[in-house]
Chains A and B, each alone.
Chain A
Amino acid sequence: MAGFSDPGFDTLALHAGAAPDPSTGARAVPIHLSTSFVFESTEHAASLFNMERAGHVYSRISNPTNAVLEERIAALEGGVGAIATASGQAALHLAIATLAGAGSHVVAASALYGGSYNLLHDTLARFGIHTTFVKPRDIDAWRTAIRPETRLLFGETLGNPGLDVLDIPSVSALAHEHGLPLLVDATFTTPWLQRPFEHGADLVFHSATKFLGGHGTVIGGLLVDSGRFDWERSGRHPELTQPYAGFHGMVFSEESSVGAFLLRARREGLRDFGACMSPHTAWLLLQGIETLPLRMQRHVANTRQVVTFLAAHAFVAGVGYPELESHPDHALAARLLPRGCGAVFSFDLKGSRRQGQAFIEALRLFSHLANVGDCRSLVIHPASTTHFRMDDAALAQAGIGPGTIRLSIGLEDPDDLIDDLKRALKAAEKTA
């Protein structure tokens, strides 16, 4: 029951969007593994299809379990609603495809997850959507890159691989000055560390696969709308403000003054591209989100201990974590990320590519794999895996050294993590 103010974050993480099931009394959210939902009558069916009534028709478009997850992440982000997608990549694609078409342009931070970079640089370009990449700290570069056909600006709250802190207040102010929305990938931070809408972002997406799920079990994405961007005033998004032939001439900004983006994304993008989330996945993500506040506190606390250990180690050349004064975004992080800068970071060994490999192979607790945000600690050596085709010069251009190691700090006993790292560092040092 709502009181005089909305509940706090921890309460919303457990309750937003969910109530005991009225038909069974089930307290936990039921998994509605049903493709479709029975109509009460032909008239009821027609009214659902024509958006005269709210309800579920077919699970590609909406599903009761997914809806709980969507409402919950919207509540935690401070948004008006959300759409659950098959993956974080699907969420990014849905966001861009809703606002952009052939001939459109995107301005994006250059510090991006590789998958996002590929989508923007190669795949969307094939469909006529082109992207200009800019250094996230260079506000003038963002400004210069905007063109008449630009439809959105995009960056990560903590950019890959150096944890560039996106200056959301400055970039969003610039975007709004040009009638453009700012889309933010908040995967590394989650709403527990930062709520981008409070700093001016308009749309947020997550790879829920990571910290939101938190257990390395499912792939999923979430796209959230702040409801704050004025599409009509902008005049740059006819997809939302002009009649849509694909839904009886519907003008989405008339249907919903604050939810036009989500209406079109669901009624077009989810309907036609079909990258929906399984209800079982939604349920597992809900289990993760219920403990998100507790887990994120521990993720950050463990990370701080590991960072402190590594920063003082003689065989470590440098640690890239914004809470360290040596990080170029230290001051910005203190302002925008006071609860912490997440649990994924990179550090550099004073060694060769071979010594980096030796370090990885000596680890026992850290799992060597290509993921982050698991409750278990993870490690990867980019020079020998994700970027193995690059020579040292190309690696340097990407901000990666031959001895760069990326860690995702989990929830284990931090002393055990440090012992594991200590042993592996010794092994790497011994490798000539």
Chain B
Amino acid sequence: MKLHVQGREAYAYTGGKGFDPSLPCVVFIHGALHDHSVWTLLARWFAHHGHGVLAVDLPAHGRSAGPPPADVQAAADWVLALLDAAQVPRAALVGHSMGSLIALEAAARAPERATHLAMVGTAYPMVVSDALLALSRDAPLQAIDKVTALSHATLATKPSYPGPGTWLHGGSRALMRHMLQGWPECNLFHHDFSVCNAYAHGLQAAALLQCPATLILGAQDQMTRPQAAQGLAQALRAQVHTVPGGHMPMAEAPDQVLGVLRAALA
């Protein structure tokens, strides 16, 4: 659905059902150079099981107008403004990768509005190597290829996402290219990676949190390695779940992620 957030048009996928703000709300926040479509299976499940779902396109990503948020804090403010626009007082915040940092920061900025925090494929600090930052700046298409290869643990994820017959590497590569082309005013890939790399407020944010936190980590994740989330997990006193796969657990282990989230958000 379309919303008006901070004076600009914003889009949130509602899981195939009309959005009802009176239902317990789950907000899904995507990662770098992604959009809401990385969440569609989970979004559909929660939307058809008693929740209102807002799987957002962050500004300058997909259907939401730009420019992109300057940093994680600005993105968190945008998420909270989106809740206002949707007339949602409180919500569970679920984020992937860069989106997990945004969810954390939003939950810290308005602790009374976060019922739950779930961080998928996360690490803190979310350091992006100088080499990868430079590649995303100088040769974003090459960087997309490299990140696609790094993000997937196998060449044969079953049952694939969003359904059988999908080549996950190809789908991921096409989505990132689509996002890159969709906001030609800047190099969105380098921007998003820089946002991840620059975020330094994670432990302070964790200390402000009032809701239960869950971390869902890919056992073979090469982008955000599971051990790089240990400090954050301790600071959050989070439940940590490791699922098979790499940096894209929603695509590589959709049923396992659903199982964890169902329990965490119950």
Contact = CB atoms under 8 A, between A and B. Distances in A.
A45 interface: no
B146 A80 contact: no
B167 A71 contact: yes
A4 B170 contact: no
Interface in A217-253: 226-228, 230, 248-250
A362 interface: no
A75 B145 contact: no
B171 interface: yes
Interface string A261-274: 01100100000000
B44 A81 contact: no
Given A230-B178, A257-B35, A52 B44 contact: yes
B155 A51 contact: no
A66 interface: yes
Nearest to A19: B156
13 contacts: A16-B167, A51-B16, A52-B41, A53-B258, A54-B160, A54-B161, A67-B159, A81-B165, A227-B171, A255-B16, A256-B40, A257-B36, A262-B166
B174 A6 contact: no
Contacts of B154: 1-2, 19
B136 interface: no
Nearest to A270: B165
A82 interface: yes
A322 interface: no
Contact of B170 (A15, A64, A74, A249): A74
A80 B158 contact: no
Interface centre among A54, A67, A227 (most CB of B within 10 A): A54
B155 A81 contact: no
B256 to A, nearest CB: 11
A47 interface: yes
B228 interface: no
B4 interface: no
A321 B16 CA distance: 52
A333 interface: no
Contacts of A263: 162-163
B8 interface: no
A52 B50 CA distance: 13
A67 B41 contact: no
Contact of A80 (B149, B166, B255, B258): B166
Contact of B178 (A19, A74, A81, A257): A257
Contact of B44 (A12, A51, A66): A51
Task: Say whether chain A's binding surface is mostly helix, strand, loop, or mixed.
Answer: loop
A53 B255 contact: yes
Interface in A1-37: 1-7, 12, 15-19
A356 interface: no
A79 B13 contact: no
Count class of interface residues, chain A: 35 or more
A122 B13 CA distance: 42
Given A2-B149, A6-B149, A227-B170, A259 B162 contact: yes
A419 interface: no
Interface of A: 1-7, 12, 15-19, 47, 50-56, 62-64, 66-68, 70-71, 74-75, 78-84, 226-228, 230, 248-250, 254-259, 262-263, 266
B156 A16 contact: yes
Contact of B41 (A1, A12, A54): A54
A203 to B, nearest CB: 13
B48 interface: yes
A255 B160 contact: no
B167 A266 contact: no
A53 B169 contact: no
B159 A55 contact: yes
B45 interface: yes
Interface string B232-266: 00000000000000100000001100100000000
A16 B16 contact: no
B44 A80 contact: no
Given A4-B146, A248-B16, A266-B165, 4 more contacts: A53-B254, A84-B165, A256-B162, A266-B163
Nearest to A18: B156
A100 B264 CA distance: 45
Given A16-B156, A62-B165, A68-B156, A78 B170 contact: yes
B226 interface: no
A47 B15 CA distance: 12
A47 B45 contact: yes
A4 B149 contact: yes
Given A17-B156, A19-B156, A70-B165, A50 B44 contact: yes
Contact of A3 (B13, B149, B171): B149
Contacts of A52: 41, 44-45, 48
B220 to A, nearest CB: 8
B125 interface: no
Contact of B167 (A2, A17, A50): A17
Interface in B1-50: 13, 16, 35-37, 40-41, 44-45, 48
